[in-house]
Structure 1
């Protein structure tokens, strides 16, 4: 059974709320402090992208139970301008905000599974999963 909680991203405080939700769920599932940090970093990056580029959206945290394993899925969805060149944003060092450019490639590295679906003019749907070791 998958249980999902969401935080609407409308301002910078919502990024903090999404991080906190993710950390709490990760802790509940039994993730260690290092993986909790990885998960909250990934959430932070995804929520910040929604805030900066889409203006609004939501980050959902879902508990996963599959084949006797527990995990956590982050679902970041917005109806912003979308990403025209997914390959480009997945390059290390690419940044449109003048940030470090860890961005989406960083999220992909921090998590076990990562998928991105984006249509210009329609928005973006990013899903990232971390499995409990």
Structure 2
């Protein structure tokens, strides 16, 4: 469902096929992280207009255990589980704006934005 929602907004925003694929891939990874590591959560996605730019913003929020060391979690290849360690760092590379906010014991919020060229 996350992939379909994000793809529809990316198409509406007129992102190129390559940019759509990058955004959908990042959203899919982050949704998976929220489910596996955060115990579930919510995703909101919307078209945004800022400073003459148009894009798609997707926000993931979970009330999981949070991330103790954000810098480490964003390190290429690091994993807290059995994955490849590409979820957070890979997602960050695929989008234009990436903001991760996490509080141990409270949860994590990740906001990504892809701007139309």
Q: What TM-score, normalized to structure 1? A: 0.85
- How far did residue 115 of structure 1 move? 0.8
1:117 aligns to 2:101 (yes or no): yes
Structure 1 gaps, min length 5: 1-16
Secondary structure, counterpart of 1:47 in structure 2: helix
Residue of structure 2 in register with 1:130 after alignment: 114
Secondary structure, counterpart of 1:127 in structure 2: strand
Secondary structure, counterpart of 2:111 in structure 1: strand
Among candidates 22, 25, 43, match of residue 41 of structure 1: 25
Which is bigger in relative contact order (C-alpha 8 A, separation at least 6)? 2
Q: Which runs of 4+ in 1 moved over 4 A?
A: none
Aligned residues: 117
Q: What TM-score, normalized to structure 2? A: 0.96
Residue of structure 2 in register with 1:28 after alignment: 12
1:89 aligns to 2:73 (yes or no): yes
Residue of structure 2 in register with 1:108 after alignment: 92
Structure 2 gaps, min length 5: none
